[in-house]
Amino acid sequence: MKWRNLALLPLFAVIVLVQVLCSATDSIYYLTQLTMSAYYSLLIIGLCVLMGYAGQISMGHAGFFAIGGYLSAALTTRSLVAFQDHTLVRLLHAAGCLSAGQDIYGEPMLVVTPWAACVIAVLTAAVVALLLGIPVLKLKGHYLAMATLGFGIIIYRIVLASSYFGEADGISGVPGFTLLPGLSVNGEFSSRVENYYIAWGVLLLGMLLLRNLINSRAGRALRAIHGSIEAADAVGVDTARFKVYTFVLSAVFAALAGVLLTHYNGGIGPSEAGIMKSVRYVAIVAVGGMANLWGALIMGVVLNFLSLRGLFGSYDDAVFGLILILIMLFAPGGILTLRLGGLWERLRPKAKSGKEGAS
């Protein structure tokens, strides 16, 4: 039990192997899509805990991704020079959260530093998730799906309508995010390998935290909510509170993914906030097998990678819709169970008859 997290080691080996192979075969461009896939997968494993383990659907997670991405993009690019006498801006300045510079025309610029922007963006997503979650998580099934869908639509229309968020153009020219001295999230060609490892490092860390959660007191409580809300209540689980906490946690994962991917891409556009993105994330969690973090991670990386490589062409969203239909029809337990299906059937009766023989 102590070494449970050693299961992450083979994944680490694969990550290194892929990088070495890509570098050796001069196909380092694959690392770009793998980096982006890792960030999307960060959102997806968070959503997996909410949907698969706690049993609460969200059709609006692209909204939290967009809150993270858009806020960090806007805060690090929109100059606050015009507001520099405002108390809030002064406070930020005094706290060292602002950096001064010049724009391309030589005009003075005053923007929020990436670290401060990241904290503000993720906290905002958490607060929004809390305020949204308290009322809507009282709903179940279709009703919860519709309420979260409504939230997703609101965020999409806000970023599309607001000039602060760049309307249909989105925000570009987002600077790099220096996590630690010498370790920067940016889209520069020279730091492609570095960024690949940053993204996968963050994803592995996220995976580690969520795996710990699932096999702990809090994780068992939220899985119990999925199993039977009355029985969870009856053993003293504050089901409403645990549902909201899980919702906030998954929103934080989504927002962080949005922040990091936006710095990596150097910008963000309204399609990241779109409903089809939320549907895609739900589809990937379903393909991965719902209550299966590994399935969510693997499918998150594979399907996003294929999509980003343009394999599905203009039919991208159609393919994800089709995947959702096929999975619901033929492999409601996720695609990993489909492949192992035959093997399971052969192993299962043996194990069972062995038990009966013993008793």
What gap in Å lies between CA 79 and CA 102, rounded to an integer?
10
Residue 213 binding other proteins, by CB under 8 A: yes
Query: Cβ of residue 242: shortest distance to other proteins, in angstroms?
Result: 9
Torsion of CA 19, 24, 25, 29, to 10 degrees: 40
User: Between 144 and 249, whose beta carbon lies closer to other proteins?
Assistant: 249
Among 6, 104, 235, 343, binds other proteins (CB under 8 A): 235
Give the DSSP letter of residue 59: S
Which stretch in 7-15, 105-113, 153-161, 212-220 sits in contact with other proteins by CB under 8 A?
Answer: 212-220
Q: Which is nearer to other proteins, 36 or 249 (CB)?
A: 249
Give 87 or 359: the residue with its C-beta nearer to other proteins.
359
Among 217, 329, 330, 342, binds other proteins (CB under 8 A): 217
Tell me which stretch binds other proteins (CB under 8 A): 59-67, 224-232, 254-262, 281-289: 224-232
Per the DSSP assignment, residues forming a β-bridge with 183 are 180
Distance CA 47, CA 148 (A): 13
Alpha-carbon dihedral 342, 347, 349, 352, rounded to 10 degrees: -150
DSSP string, 27-42: -TTHHHHHHHHHHHHH
Total residues at the site for other proteins (CB under 8 A)? 29
Task: Return the axis-axis angle of helices 141-161 and 114-136, rounded to nearest 10°.
Answer: 140
How many residues does the structure list for the chain? Answer: 359
Backbone angles phi, psi at 170, to 5 degrees: 70, -160
Is residue 233 part of the contact set for other proteins (CB under 8 A)? yes
In the shown chain, the binding pattern of residues 238 to 257 toward other proteins, with x for contact by CB under 8 A and - for none, equals xx-----x---x--------
Residue closer to other proteins by CB (options 31, 232) is 232
Site for other proteins, rule CB under 8 A: 209-210, 212-213, 216-221, 223-224, 226-228, 230-239, 245, 249, 291, 359
